[in-house]
Structure 1
Amino acid sequence: MSIFAQLFTAIMLGGAAYTDVRYKKVYNLWLLFWMAAGIYICGIKFLPPMAVTLAVLFIFHVLGMIGAGDIKLISLVFAYLGFKDGFIVAAAGMIFAAVYAFYKLYTSGILFDRLMYFKNYLIYTFKNNSINKYYDINKDNKNLALPLSPFILTGFLIWRLYSLCSMGI
């Protein structure tokens, strides 16, 4: 993987994190630009990791658990970094997001309520053998939505720092 791919990933994630925190949105135009840059630099080999990741993560969007922009962003991370490193970055970001989410729910005093909501969601889903959205912005508290891209950026920075330290740089 080239240093350009890593640099592009850092810039892409930084911009996405900014807009996600500031405007609660990862803009498609931003993602389209980075996809075009990736195809231009890496060629056609850029597309398969992106397409596979989009297909796998799409179910989380259908369930209302992850926004479409976040899924496209993670797919671009996989395309730029490859499956192994992309998975490490995404998994680290998700872990940081989960820890923060638990902290936020605990300090808000609603952790138990949300855990019961999730339990009831799972019971309803398996009992009725139907898939419904987990989070519905129209009926759930809008403050519960978490911008994911800053955590993916954090996962990237931790991964990059670890890579540099393990190389002895």
Structure 2
Amino acid sequence: MTVSFISCLLLLTWVSWTDIRYRRIPNYLVLAGIISGFLIHRQEPEIALAGLLGCFMLTVLFSIIGFMGNGDIKLSAALGAILGYQTGSEVIFYGVALCALAISLYMALKGQFKELVTQNLLTVKYLFKGNIKLYIQQLKAQGKIFALPLAPFFLPGLIIREAFNWLF
């Protein structure tokens, strides 16, 4: 296990708890993650900077269209600073995929899977038309969007990424 992994594991554990309990990601935790990323990569600070900017830019689009909260965007930047761009983006991908899977399973258990598929197809349609933000706002106003805190899904995403790295 690397220092980056342990640092990220500690950060994500604490952030996951606050995100589940309060639906907030405190700025001081994000700042601590960014600072630890630059301390870990003090010999090559460009790794932390590239990771911070890359992971931030990777996820900022999701915030603009309303799929991801601003705390998750800041947390993604901290993950990038700690892990570097490639590993950070993999952790984000696994976390988002796990969250989407959890929402799909929840909707299926409630008997609303057909509605979820329809919403996803319409989301793709509006994405290509260029007015996705308006569509997402309408769904939120109608109470048709089921939101989960995303930060807790980054934690198993980190573990999955580390397991794949160890196995392969």
TM-score range, shorter chain: 0.7 to 0.9
- Tell me how far 1:159 sits from its aligned partner: 2.5
Does the CA-based 8 Å contact 1:102-1:111 persist in structure 2? yes
CA distance in 2, matches of 1:14, 1:150: 8
Per the normalisation by structure 1, the TM-score is 0.81
SS at match of 2:141: coil
Equivalent runs, 1:43-122 vs 2, <5 Å: 43=42, 44-45=45-46, 46-122=48-124
Per the normalisation by structure 2, the TM-score is 0.82
Q: Tell me whether 16-25 or 88-97 shows the greater mean CA deviation.
A: 88-97
- Tell me how far 1:101 sits from its aligned partner: 1.2
CA distance in 1, matches of 2:11, 2:54: 20
Aligned-residue CA RMSD in angstroms? 2.5
1:36 maps to: 35
Q: Report the AA paired with residue 28 of structure 1.
A: N
- Tell me how far 1:12 sits from its aligned partner: 0.8
What number of residue pairs does the alignment pair up? 164
Q: Percent identity?
A: 25
Structure 1 pair 161/47, CA: closer, same or farther in 2 (3 Å)? same
More relative contact order in 1 or in 2 (CA 8 Å, sep 6+)? 1
Does the CA-based 8 Å contact 1:64-1:134 persist in structure 2? no
Does the CA-based 8 Å contact 1:93-1:153 persist in structure 2? yes
CA distance in 2, matches of 1:85, 1:125: 27
2:21 maps to: 22
SS at match of 2:8: helix
Residue 132, structure 1, aligned to residue 133, structure 2: yes
Q: Deviation per CA, 1:49-106, whole angstroms, max 9, x where unpaired?
A: 1112212321110000111111222222222222332233222222221211110111
Q: Report the AA paired with residue 103 of structure 2.
A: A
Q: Provide structure 1 residue ranges, at least 5 long, that are not aligned to the other structure.
A: none
SS at match of 1:132: helix
Structure 1 pair 3/110, CA: closer, same or farther in 2 (3 Å)? same
2:7 maps to: 8
- Tell me how far 1:152 sits from its aligned partner: 0.9
SS at match of 1:147: coil
Q: Report the AA paired with residue 133 of structure 2.
A: N
- Tell me how far 1:140 sits from its aligned partner: 4.5
- Tell me how far 1:145 sits from its aligned partner: 0.7
Structure 1 pair 122/88, CA: closer, same or farther in 2 (3 Å)? closer
